[in-house]
Amino acid sequence: MSAEVFTGSFTQQEPIPDEGIAAANAVMRSGRLHRYNTAPGETAETVLLEQEFAAQVGAKYCLAVASGGYAMATALRALGVKPGDRVLTNAFTLAPVPGAIAAVGAVPVFVGVSDQLVIDLEDLAAKQGEAKVLLLSHMRGHLCDMEALMTLCNEAGIAVIEDCAHTMGAAWKGVPSGTQGRIGCYSCQTYKHVNSGEGGLLVTDDAEVAARAIMLSGSYMLYEKHLAGPPPETFAQIRYETPNISGRMDNLRAAILRPQLRNLAEQRERWNERYRKIEAGLRGTPGLTLIARPEAESYVGSSIQFLLKDWSGEAVQQVLRRSAERGVELKWFGAPEPVGFTSRYDSWRYVDTPPMPRSDAVLAGIIDMRVPLTFSLEDCGLIARIIRAEVGAVYQATQDENSG
Ligand SMILES: Cc1ncc(COP(=O)(O)O)c(C=O)c1O
């Protein structure tokens, strides 16, 4: 019998819902794509999106912007981070996170990753004196113990910005991701939980932060058009003091996003069905460690990770190669060179960072796989069988070598 092969695509998203296409067409027909270009009595799609997203996560204020990276840099600026300031962030995250810190001329201070793939709270406690802001990345959708983290940061006087690029729709003990820190930042880029190609959202309950973010994004003194923004009085001084660093969202993207946000809870269930199918298929594979998901965490399983703990780099490479030959694309965070999306703290050489051996040991074993909604449950079962077989085969061979 020949080995099963998966022939689907790991990067194919679902189409934009018909409702979003119709709304986008209406915006294009109107010609009023710029968020401040409205007809009398009209409320821009961008403004409606902000109101709806604020209500969805239970935040007071929301601003739609050009990208998740822009949202993070804006959040840092809105908190007053200046060139040369140090900002705590995750060693295990993707390049736009330290990039946002670098964008404001600040310096990332990396905090280690635990074997649950979340920020290492012990390492955070050890570094708490080094910065006044933490840009916390919920990398690949894994939430740390948010209560413990917030207690630590509140006691240390550290303002938390949450990077929710992978946790839009997720929650910790029912609290939506992005609403525990001072500011929550989301991405609407194609590979995220809603897709407008590019785009970002920023939420906060802090009126001054919201006002600064609105001014920063390029509001040309039209801030009163922001119905999910703070009252005009908040802008009294801020409007003179805040530079315009344009990065607005447009009505076309907003029109595409609104129906997707309305479907988010349903999409989360579809993602999680797929995630659980793959997880169940991988459970018990020799040499492979699944990541336990805490009770308190409601996640969105748009990707799955597992660990090949203490494996040699060569054996991991064999798994990647053999899986790829059968159509399964796995990413590895332990590779000596960054490939595609998988860079890590020591790839960002514009930051002078001491080695982090405990994190290196975790990173060396992290395998990551996208789970797009275009996969059927049968696809997920097949993918799990392929990974199980290939991990099992390589693991068995290394065991035999060691005992031989
Ligand atoms: C963890 C993480 N944070 C932030 C971002 C930034 O999002 P964007 O691509 O919208 O700038 C990304 C995007 O890949 C990401 O993966």
What does 259-325 look like in DSSP terms, one character per residue?
HHHHTHHHHHHHHHHHHHHHHHHHTT-TT-EEPPPPTTEE---SEEEEE-TT--HHHHHHHHHHHHH
Which of 138, 143, 183, 178 lies closest to 159, judged by CA?
183
Is 133's C-beta closer than 6 angstroms to any atom of ligand 1? no
Which domain, by its residues, includes 299? Answer: 264-403
Residues 39 and 119 in one domain: yes
- Total domain count for the chain? 2
Question: Residue 199's closest CA among 256, 242, 136, 142?
Answer: 256
Could you tell me if the CB of 108 is within 6 A of ligand 1? no
Asked if 141 contacts 170 with a C-beta cutoff of 8 angstroms, the reply is: yes
Rounded to 10 degrees, what is the CA torsion of 394, 398, 401, 404?
-110
- Whether residues 23 and 49 share a domain: the answer is yes
Contact 175, 143 (CB under 8 A): no
Question: How far apart, in whole angstroms, are the C-alpha atoms of residue 298 and residue 1?
Answer: 41
Q: Which of 262, 286, 310 is the last residue of a domain?
A: 262
Which helix (DSSP H) or strand (DSSP E) does residue 252 occupy? Answer: helix 251-262
209, 302: one domain: no
* 58 to 46, 178, 205, 253: CA distances (angstroms): 18, 10, 9, 22
Q: What is the pTM of this model?
A: 0.97
The answer to the question of residue 8 being in a domain is no
Best substitution site from 13, 70, 90, 94 to test ligand 1's pocket, by max atoms within 8 Å of Cβ? Answer: 94
* Domain match, 37 and 56 both: yes
Ligand 1 centroid – CA 73 distance (Å):
12
Any atom of ligand 1 within 6 Å of the Cβ of 68? yes
CB 301 less than 6 A from any atom of ligand 1 = no
163 Cβ inside 6 Å of ligand 1: yes
Does the CB atom of residue 74 touch ligand 1 within 6 A? no
49 lies in some domain: yes
Residue 111 to residue 124: CA distance in whole angstroms: 6
pLDDT digits over 195-213, tens only? 999 999 999 999 999 999 9
Judge if the beta carbon of residue 189 lies within 6 A of ligand 1: yes
**Strands ordered across the beta sheet of 331-332:** 289-290, 303-307, 366-370, 331-332
In terms of domains, do 273 and 238 share one? no
Q: How far is the CA of 398 from the centre of ligand 1 (A)?
A: 37
Q: Which two tokens stand for residue 303?
A: 């990707």
pLDDT at site 1: 60
Beta carbon of 93 within 6 Å of any ligand 1 atom: yes
Q: Based on the fold, state whether residues 255 and 288 are members of the same structural domain.
A: no
pLDDT at residue 403 in the model: 82
390 within domain boundaries: yes
Question: 22 and 131, same structural domain?
Answer: yes
- Any atom of ligand 1 within 6 Å of the Cβ of 138: no
* Regions in the chain scoring below 50 on pLDDT: none
Q: What per-residue confidence (pLDDT) applies to 343?
A: 85
Q: Which of 119, 167, 187, 366 has most ligand 1 atoms within 8 Å of its beta carbon, as the pocket-test mutant?
A: 187
Q: Phi then psi for 61, rounded to 5 degrees?
A: -130, 150
Please indicate, yes or no, if residue 118 is contained in any of the structural domains. Answer: yes
Instruction: Give the count of beta carbons closer than 10 Å to the beta carbon of residue 163.
Output: 31
pLDDT at 7: 98
Q: Identify the pLDDT of residue 404.
A: 67
